[in-house]
Structure 1
Amino acid sequence: MADNTVPSKRDERIAFILLAVLLAPALSVAIVGGYGFIIWMSQLVLGPPTG
């Protein structure tokens, strides 16, 4: 069953708000937090960086 409806301007605006206002910041926080967690865990296992 094919749904060939064309999205309206309102649908596009809602999708943009969802992606730009909610998803992008949440994804950015998750990526930076995940990277920080990886660095933290690697320092617990391998020791602090030597310089």
Structure 2
Amino acid sequence: MSNTVSRRAKRKELLSFLFITVLLFPVLSVLAVASYGFSVWFWQIVFGPPTH
């Protein structure tokens, strides 16, 4: 019985790892970069482009 539980736990851990590394982190990275770009774009709309 413990062998079955161990296999299920390993499979669940592997699927969780794959979900995090293949889906979650890339999506969060894209959202972070997109939100930064949007905030810079909006800032420049309100206050104008940077000048020297």
TM-score by length of 1: 0.85
* 1:11 corresponds to: 12
What stretches of structure 1 of length at least 5 have no aligned partner? none
- RMSD between aligned alpha carbons? 1.7
What stretches of structure 2 of length at least 5 have no aligned partner? none
> Is structure 2 residue 39 aligned with structure 1 residue 38?
yes
Percent identity over the alignment?
Answer: 47
Q: Which structure is larger by alpha-carbon Rg, 1 or 2? A: 2
TM-score by length of 2: 0.83
Q: Distance in 2 between matches of 1:47 and 1:18?
A: 41
Following TM superposition, where does structure 1 have runs of at least 4 consecutive aligned residues deviating by more than 3 angstroms?
none
Q: Distance in 1 between matches of 2:49 and 2:12?
A: 50
CA apart distance, 1:38: 0.1
Count matched residues. 47
**Deviation sequence 1:16-38 (CA, Å, 0-9, x none):** 01100000000000000000000
